[in-house]
Amino acid sequence: MKKSRFIYSNCFVYLANRISFALSTRLNKTVNYIAVLTASICCFVCISCSDYLDVVPDNVATMDHAFKNRLEAEGFLFGIYSNIPRSCNIDNNPGLLGGDEGWLIDNADNYPNPLLWGIAKGEQNTQSPMANFWSSVHTGGNTLGGVSMWTAISDANIFLENIHKPFDLDDFERNQWIAEVKFLKAYFYFWLLRMYGPVPILKENIPVSASSEKVKVFRDPVDDVVDYIVTLLDESIPDLPLKILDWQMDLGRPTQPMAYALKAQVLTLAASPLFNGNPDYIDFVDRRNIALFPQEYKPEKWEKAVNALKEAIDIAHEAGHELYDFHSHSFAKNLNDSTIIRMSIRGAVVERWNPEVIWADSRGGTTGYQREAFFGTDNKNNVGMCYGPSLNVVEQFYSKNGVPIDEDTEWKEVDWYALRTGDTAHNRFIRQGFTTVNLHFNREYRFYGSLSFDGCLYYGAGKTTKDNDFHLLQFRADNQPHGFYTKMHSPTGYNPGKVVHFLTTQGVNQAATYYEYQWPIIRLADLYLMYAEALNETKASPDEDVYEYIDKVRNRSGLDGVVNSWSNHSINPNKPKTKDGMRDIIQRERMIELAFEGIRFWDLRRWKLAELYMNKTLRGWTVTKTKSEEFYQIQDIHTLKFEKKDYLWPIQTSELLKNTNLVQNPGW
């Protein structure tokens, strides 16, 4: 049977990735480098292959060699880890640039039109799909997705089928490695489920001697895929550690809190409108006439999500996870409370292995995203500064009273876009005497902790020891420290300062020095807000249980609870007391708290709200102007287009031609 194009065109990339992963994580010692190299070479010649999916192993003799002892098997294990999609890579994670949170400059110097930006532009297609994690086709030297998840799943199956062979591997470590691989396999399936919906379940690899008809697998219904993922995670949990004890060697490897959190994510996705009785897919069947989506809404799915989320939160607490507080940082002694709150919001994302992070990508890789978001304070050297949050997202943050500004009674007569001068009351956020707009005053701490804007005071980038000596950031064309450059500026007049580590800096006439951190995949605030969401869906009306966990997140940001905030400051004071009103509040809370982390992209899909948000015109300021009254004129950046078919990814046409048992997702 012929090997797939993936094997031939990417063998050396695959080998390099496996070695790179072992080097970039701290799971290895010198002896392991040799093991990874040896096992990776073996894996190269035995990677699964098929004309239809990468699920048929080849060269069994070489595979036996790859598992002849512990070191060889460990190298293969590291190779499976290398298949994890890089969550902070803008060419790997569609959640970062594929949605409506912000926009880039066309043909920017550092990243000229990243591939996955095309998703937001409406350029997704069936011939060469972007973020193609099904078949991982490469074109012109640029990946359109990354490693095929079927290759990753096949590798996991190979490992599980052969890990009994190493003679010098004790049972304790063998069982833990098996648990790790089951966790990884579950994550690979979760990644596919979230993108494609129903996918084939491959519990084991198809034998190399199988007929072509056996290889032509069918897609399995969504609920079956969810059940299989949950089964894998349940099987993995008993043999995973509660927490990592060896920080030098094992950070990034699965723990029980990670497995429980992933299980909770999967069940929350399954309970959400996209996958729970979605009428748009009522006629979506395969060639056997089997329905691939649930035919009716099942409220008990939310009950399952509630139970899983509570388990995940409890085990996370037991392992020592808590919401991040910058008070614990050595720099905090020189800062006042307002700066500390802002830095708690920012630090929850950028502070390495802080206690809020349940799972982070141990390979780092945050330089690229930081480069696009970092506003250079001295010159333009090595600063991308070409990604700007849209005005749409800027407006979504709450007022200082913890309610939307279009609901706040104190904002009823306020002209959001009228010019206003920085005053003493805001001198921790806005330079006193600087002309900006009302929109930047009287906002919540997450507004000031997540965004950089014209006239704001920026903590970090070399200024961390004095509370009254922050950088003044200016976005107007005549006031930027390096001069206005058409291919290196914010297209909207904002930057997502939240994702830039405060120790990332730039000296005068020097290139920027980026402080790498591990990108959080799951953090505790995410679980808290999902738990509040799931609880709200199971009750006739919200109660204290629903409010408790959303209020925990709000309190870290200096806000009062939702009931008090709406009662005292909203034109709709009873909103948190209704199920629909509370649903809207929780969804907005997630979009604020998790902004620029690649999560909104997936949330809008599972809520079936992408058509509402992704068919709007993104707006920003007229950034090429110099005078305040000209700069603060709203300009249209781009009009988004989202259709029903965009909720699920297209399967590449060539895959459908190879496997006639596969059916395309609706609309494609």
Query: The domain spanning residue 79 has which CATH number?
Result: 1.25.40.890
2 pLDDT tier (thresholds 50, 70, 90): very low
Q: Is 565 domain-assigned? A: no
Is 414 in the same domain as 277?
Answer: no
What per-residue confidence (pLDDT) applies to 140?
Answer: 33
Structure confidence by residue, pLDDT tens digits, 121-138 = 999 999 999 999 998 644
Structure confidence by residue, pLDDT tens digits, 49-101 = 444 565 555 555 577 788 999 999 999 999 999 999 988 988 889 999 999 99
Is 291 in the same domain as 170?
Answer: yes
What per-residue confidence (pLDDT) applies to 310?
Answer: 98
Number of domains in the chain: 2
- Return all residues near 200 (Cβ < 8 A) that are at least 6 apart: 53, 217, 218, 219, 220
Q: Which of 37, 53, 69 is nearest to 1 (CA)?
A: 53
142 pLDDT tier (thresholds 50, 70, 90): very low
Q: Is 71 domain-assigned? A: yes
What per-residue confidence (pLDDT) applies to 13?
Answer: 33
Among 19-33, 97-111, 228-242, 301-315, which is the least confidently predicted range?
19-33
Residue 389 DSSP SS3: strand
Q: What is the mean pLDDT of the segment spanning 396-403?
A: 98
Q: Which of 480, 498, 520 is the last residue of a domain?
A: 520
Is 420 in the same domain as 504?
Answer: yes
Is 311 in the same domain as 437?
Answer: no
Among 70-79, 183-192, 374-383, 618-627, which is the least confidently predicted range?
374-383
What per-residue confidence (pLDDT) applies to 219?
Answer: 97
Residue 146 DSSP SS3: coil
What per-residue confidence (pLDDT) applies to 108?
Answer: 66
Q: Is 15 domain-assigned? A: yes
The encoded tokens of residue 635 equal 């300009």
What average pLDDT does the structure give for the chain?
87
Q: Is 157 domain-assigned? A: yes
Is 61 in the same domain as 203?
Answer: yes
Residue tagged 């690229």 (tokens): 368
Say what angle helices 524-538 and 544-556 make with each other, to 10 degrees: 160
Q: In whole angstroms, give the CA distance from residue 197 to residue 187.
A: 14
Q: In whole angstroms, give the CA distance from residue 263 to residue 267.
A: 6
Q: Which of 468, 496, 520 is the last residue of a domain?
A: 520
Question: In which region does residue 193 sit, left (phi positive, over 0), alpha (psi from -120 to 50) or beta (all else)?
Answer: alpha
Is 390 in the same domain as 299?
Answer: no
What per-residue confidence (pLDDT) applies to 512?
Answer: 82
How many whole angstroms from its chain centre is CA 136?
A: 20
Q: Which of 493, 512, 513 is nearest to 378 (CA)?
A: 512
Q: How far lies 377's CA from each of 285, 294, 381, 447, 482, in Å?
A: 56, 53, 10, 20, 8
Is 313 in the same domain as 441?
Answer: no
**Would you say the C-alpha torsion 458, 459, 461, 463 has a positive or negative sign?**
positive
Is 378 in the same domain as 239?
Answer: no
List beta partners, residue 97: none
Give me the percent of the chain exceeding a pLDDT of 90: 72
Residue 235 DSSP SS3: helix
Structure confidence by residue, pLDDT tens digits, 473-521 = 888 887 655 556 666 788 999 999 999 999 998 776 677 889 999 999 9
Q: Is 317 domain-assigned? A: yes
What per-residue confidence (pLDDT) applies to 483?
Answer: 57
Q: Which of 514, 522, 539 is nearest to 376 (CA)?
A: 514
Q: Is 627 domain-assigned? A: no
What per-residue confidence (pLDDT) applies to 20?
Answer: 39
CB atoms within 10 A of CB 160: 17
Is 284 in the same domain as 389?
Answer: no
Phi, psi of 131 (to 5 degrees): 55, 50
pLDDT over 50 at 30, yes or no: no
Question: In which region does residue 418 sit, left (phi positive, over 0), alpha (psi from -120 to 50) or beta (all else)?
Answer: beta
What per-residue confidence (pLDDT) applies to 481?
Answer: 54
- Return all residues near 367 (Cβ < 8 A) that are at least 6 apart: 514, 516
Is 509 in the same domain as 367?
Answer: yes
Residue tagged 């008070």 (tokens): 327
- Return all residues near 596 (Cβ < 8 A) that are at least 6 apart: 101, 102, 373, 389, 450, 496, 498, 499
Is 444 in the same domain as 495?
Answer: yes
Q: Which of 520, 546, 575 is the last residue of a domain?
A: 520
DSSP state of 630: H
Is 185 in the same domain as 246?
Answer: yes
Higher pLDDT, 607 or 480: 607
Higher pLDDT, 471 or 574: 574
Residues in the chain: 668
The parent domain of residue 424 ranges over: 363-520
Q: Is 303 domain-assigned? A: yes
23 pLDDT tier (thresholds 50, 70, 90): very low
What per-residue confidence (pLDDT) applies to 40?
Answer: 39
**Would you say the C-alpha torsion 103, 106, 112, 118 has a positive or negative sign?**
positive
Q: In whole angstroms, give the CA distance from residue 488 to residue 490.
A: 7
The encoded tokens of residue 476 equal 């107007």
371 pLDDT tier (thresholds 50, 70, 90): confident
Q: Is 20 domain-assigned? A: yes
How many whole angstroms from its chain centre is CA 598?
A: 4
What per-residue confidence (pLDDT) applies to 28?
Answer: 37
